[in-house]
Amino acid sequence: MGDMIHFPQEEPDFQAALSTSMVVFGFDGVDLKILLAKSTRPPFEGALFLPSRYLKANEELLLSAKKMFNDLFGYDNPSMVEQLRAFGQVFRHPGGRVVNIAHYALVNTDDFRTEEWEHHGMHWVPVNEVPDLAFDHNDIVDYARERLKRRVRRRPVGFDLLPKEFTLGQLQNLYEKAMRKTFDKRNFRKKLFKSKLLVDLEKKSDGSGYGQHKGSQLFSFNDEAYSIMTLKGYDFVF
Amino acid sequence: MGDMIHFPQEEPDFQAALSTSMVVFGFDGVDLKILLAKSTRPPFEGALFLPSRYLKANEELLLSAKKMFNDLFGYDNPSMVEQLRAFGQVFRHPGGRVVNIAHYALVNTDDFRTEEWEHHGMHWVPVNEVPDLAFDHNDIVDYARERLKRRVRRRPVGFDLLPKEFTLGQLQNLYEKAMRKTFDKRNFRKKLFKSKLLVDLEKKSDGSGYGQHKGSQLFSFNDEAYSIMTLKGYDFVF
DNA sequence: TCAAAAGTGTTGGGGGTACACCCATGC
DNA sequence: GCATGGGTGTACCCCCAACACTTTTGA
């Protein structure tokens, strides 16, 4: 009652801990997946959860998430790590209050340092097959999927997810998985071509890329158009 | 390096404090405003900032924000208090780390308990005239305005902001202020009428409501259509 | 030979956008 | 009478949505 107006004078309660979890969306050419960790030691052996860490009291929120991204993937991805929001309701740690500042990122699954992390139980799981996770991490995943859906609608997203050279089948497949609906092939192509986002590489896939049909046309993104549309946004209405 | 995969075993650092600030958008019939507090005592005398409070270690994030809303307005508004995100970069408290979980809310300015709060320096300021604020509160306001813009685009928002009976001029004015662009009067009306959101009250304003032109038609919202569109969303494309 | 994906055009309808004038009110 | 806002209809054009068949490849 009236507490808040004393804000600058009032004393904060320095007893909470901060953690950050990351929903890493990865595309392998066919499926949209997220990265999960599995605890391999007691007392939480077998528990699945999002890649997470506790923050030191002096760590920046976003920088900490980007550092975690770099640990996992070995490179920086300045644009595609974003905060989702704070989750503080469900997780109760016996030692006290923990608030989780969740983030998400988009990658191509090939970029994951599999060999370095797999013995820690890190692995990809298709977004439609995410099992029960520890803490409130299922809520975080759900929230991230909604955010991704909205993002796909307003900005191009393929650049970080697809291989450098991709087919229209892969692109449509990615959009359908992210937006959880199907599109008419002809209308999808028409819209993409009109957007000037795609560069026709004038060669055909040899079928070696996962999810690529041999003989289908290869494309890459027009960096300039992609940047502009990332900044200005657009409407991908279907 | 590899910290995050020990998450369940690792020890949290219980040294951070949590605060919550609220961007309260209010409409008075003409202007879209936000509520600011002014510190009236040293050592921060004169500093302007968002209504804020520190959280106790056992308080829920959203409930705490809703409680603050109730303190300010004297009623509960379950649907229109939402979390924005966590802000942790700028504010440095001498006592340690503080992370601010910001929220926003929509109200009609008439609902504000002015008499109870004005001697604490609480007052409305038009969104276009927000001065420099303490801490990183300007960042929070900017973020909230972007969120409001997106929300107006996808869901009806007038219900919480407008008086029970309002004119189309007021409604259009509100949408223009929130979305920071102007609309063609005839097209705006056509779109709203088509949406079935409006109920023609079949009476005209006597000009006593602030921002109401005498003689213009009064409307209210169709509760049912409003609820459905709040749940399902739509596209307000202009 | 069979299944799966690639590739390709047209049509109709709905809706976004642009645009101008008269009336009512208050000062 | 002058300024401000209220109220009203039409025409164009773009783009979304629906729709089917042939070809290539691999199993």
Q: Is 90 exceeded by the pLDDT of residue B55?
A: yes
Query: Do A32 and A74 share a structural domain?
Result: yes
pLDDT value of position B90: 55
pLDDT confidence band for A6 (50 / 70 / 90): low
Q: From the Cβ of A39, is strand C under 7 Å away?
A: no
Q: Is 70 exceeded by the pLDDT of residue B4?
A: no
pLDDT value of position B219: 98
Tokens of A168: 């229209």
Last residue of a domain, one of A131, A154, A177: A154
Q: From the Cβ of A216, is strand C under 7 Å away?
A: yes
For residue B96, the chain A residues in CB contact (below 8 A) are 12, 14, 57
Query: Do B169 and B131 share a structural domain?
Result: no
Query: Do A137 and A76 share a structural domain?
Result: yes
Query: Do A88 and A119 share a structural domain?
Result: yes
Q: Is 90 exceeded by the pLDDT of residue A163?
A: yes
Q: From the Cβ of A187, is strand C under 7 Å away?
A: yes
Q: What is the DSSP string of chain A?
A: --GGGGTTTSPP-TTBEEEEEEEEEEE-SS-EEEEEEE--STTSTT-EE-SEEEPPTT--HHHHHHHHHHHHHSS--STTEEEEEEE-SS--BTTB-EEEEEEEEEEEGGGS-HHHHGGGT-EEEEGGG----STTHHHHHHHHHHHHHHHHHHS--HHHHS-SSB-HHHHHHHHHHHHTS---HHHHHHHHHHTT-EEEEEEE--S-STTPPTTPEEEEE-HHHHHHHHHH------
> pLDDT higher for A206 or A92?
A206
Q: Which one of A107-121, A167-181, B6-20, B112-126 scores highest in mean pLDDT?
A: A167-181
Return d(Cα A188, Cα A181) in angstroms, integer: 12
* Candidates B12, B52, B56; nearest CB to A7: B52
Asked if residue A141 lies in contact with residue A52, where contact means CB atoms within 8 angstroms, the answer is no
CA atom of B172 to C1′ atom of D7, Å? 14
For residue B61, the chain A residues in CB contact (below 8 A) are 86, 88-89, 99
pLDDT value of position B6: 53
A48 in a structural domain: yes
- For residue B93, what is the nearest residue in chain A, using CA coordinates? A12
pLDDT value of position A90: 55
Last residue of a domain, one of A84, A119, A154: A154
For residue A237, the chain B residues in CB contact (below 8 A) are 235
B5 in a structural domain: no
Query: Do A175 and A134 share a structural domain?
Result: no
Return d(Cα B99, Cα B39) in angstroms, integer: 20
Quote the percentage of chain B above a pLDDT of 70.
95
pLDDT value of position A96: 86
CA atom of B186 to C1′ atom of C21, Å? 13
Last residue of a domain, one of A86, A120, A154: A154
pLDDT value of position A8: 62
CA atom of B191 to C1′ atom of D7, Å? 15
Q: Which residue has the tokens 């600030």?
A: B21
For the residues B47-69, what does the mean pLDDT come to? Answer: 93
pLDDT value of position B163: 96
Cα-flanking dihedrals φ and ψ of residue A207, to 5°?
85, 5
pLDDT confidence band for B9 (50 / 70 / 90): low
- From the list B43, B26, B42, the residue with the least C-alpha distance to B34 is B26
Query: Do A78 and A170 share a structural domain?
Result: no
For the residues A14-34, what does the mean pLDDT come to? Answer: 96
For the residues B154-183, what does the mean pLDDT come to? Answer: 96
Counting Cβ atoms within 10 Å, is residue A228 exposed (0-12), middle (13-18) or buried (19+)?
middle
pLDDT confidence band for B77 (50 / 70 / 90): confident
pLDDT value of position B2: 41
Cβ within 8 Å of residue A11, ≥6 positions away:
B54, B95
- For residue A116, what is the nearest residue in chain B, using CA coordinates? B2
pLDDT confidence band for B145 (50 / 70 / 90): very high
Return d(Cα A223, Cα B27) in angstroms, integer: 42
Tokens of A193: 């071509």
**Count of domains forming chain B:** 2
pLDDT value of position A1: 40
pLDDT value of position B237: 82
Minimal CA separation from A70 to chain B, in Å: 9
Query: Do A145 and A39 share a structural domain?
Result: yes
Query: Do A94 and A192 share a structural domain?
Result: no
For the residues B216-236, what does the mean pLDDT come to? Answer: 94
pLDDT value of position A192: 96
Centre a 10 Å sphere on the Cβ of residue B135 and count the other Cβ atoms it contains.
Answer: 22
> pLDDT higher for B153 or B119?
B153
The CA angle B152-B155-B158, to the nearest 5 degrees, is 65
A108 in a structural domain: yes
Determine which of A16-30, A124-138, B83-97 has the lowest per-residue pLDDT on average.
B83-97
Q: Which residue has the tokens 């928002």?
A: B157
B204 beta partners: B217
Nucleotides of D under 7 A from a protein CB: 5-10, 15-20, 24-26
Q: Which residue has the tokens 């968002």?
A: B50
Give residue-wise pLDDT tens across range A39-71.
877 777 888 999 999 999 889 999 999 999 999
For the residues B30-50, what does the mean pLDDT come to? Answer: 88
- From the list A178, B90, B166, B20, the residue with the least C-alpha distance to A170 is A178
The CATH number covering residue B221 comes to: 1.10.10.10
Sign of the Cα torsion B105, B111, B113, B114 reads positive
Q: Is 60 exceeded by the pLDDT of residue B196?
A: yes
Cβ within 8 Å of residue B198, ≥6 positions away:
B192, B219, B220, B221, B222
pLDDT value of position A21: 96
A116 in a structural domain: yes
Return d(Cα A205, Cα A207) in angstroms, integer: 5
Nucleotides of C under 7 A from a protein CB: 5-10, 15-20, 24-26
Q: Find which of A1, A3, A4, A55 to mutate to test the B interface (most B CBs within 10 Å of its CB).
A: A4
Determine, for residues B14 and A71 on separate chains, whether the beta-carbon distance falls below 8 Å: no
Query: Do A114 and A46 share a structural domain?
Result: yes
Return d(Cα B99, Cα B92) in angstroms, integer: 9
- For residue A42, what is the nearest residue in chain B, using CA coordinates? B9
The CATH number covering residue A70 comes to: 3.90.79.10
A35 beta partners: A124
Asked if residue B91 lies in contact with residue B133, where contact means CB atoms within 8 angstroms, the answer is no
Q: Which residue is nearest to nucleotide D23 (CA to C1')?
A: A215
Query: Do A95 and A199 share a structural domain?
Result: no
For residue A88, the chain B residues in CB contact (below 8 A) are 18, 60-61, 101
A183 in a structural domain: yes
B238 in a structural domain: no
Query: Do A167 and A146 share a structural domain?
Result: no
pLDDT value of position A91: 59
Q: Is 70 exceeded by the pLDDT of residue B3?
A: no
* Kind plus residue range of the DSSP H or E element containing B102: strand B98-108
Query: Do B136 and B39 share a structural domain?
Result: yes
Return d(Cα B172, Cα B123) in angstroms, integer: 25
Determine, for residues A19 and B7 on separate chains, whether the beta-carbon distance falls below 8 Å: yes
Sign of the Cα torsion A176, A179, A185, A188 reads negative
Give residue-wise pLDDT tens across range B79-96.
889 999 999 865 567 788
Tokens of B85: 């995100």
Per the structure, the complete domain to which residue B204 belongs is given by: 159-232
Give residue-wise pLDDT tens across range B42-51.
777 888 999 9
Q: Is 90 exceeded by the pLDDT of residue B184?
A: yes
A5 to each of B40, B130, B180, how far by Cα in Å?
A: 10, 19, 30
Sign of the Cα torsion B225, B226, B231, B237 reads positive
Tokens of B151: 């929300």
- What's the whole-number average pLDDT of chain A? 91
For the residues A114-124, what does the mean pLDDT come to? Answer: 85
pLDDT value of position B44: 77
B111 in a structural domain: yes
* Candidates B7, B11, B95; nearest CB to A52: B7
* Candidates B4, B88, B93; nearest CB to A53: B4
Return d(Cα B37, Cα B119) in angstroms, integer: 10
Quote the percentage of chain A above a pLDDT of 70.
95
Cβ within 8 Å of residue B119, ≥6 positions away:
none
A3 in a structural domain: no
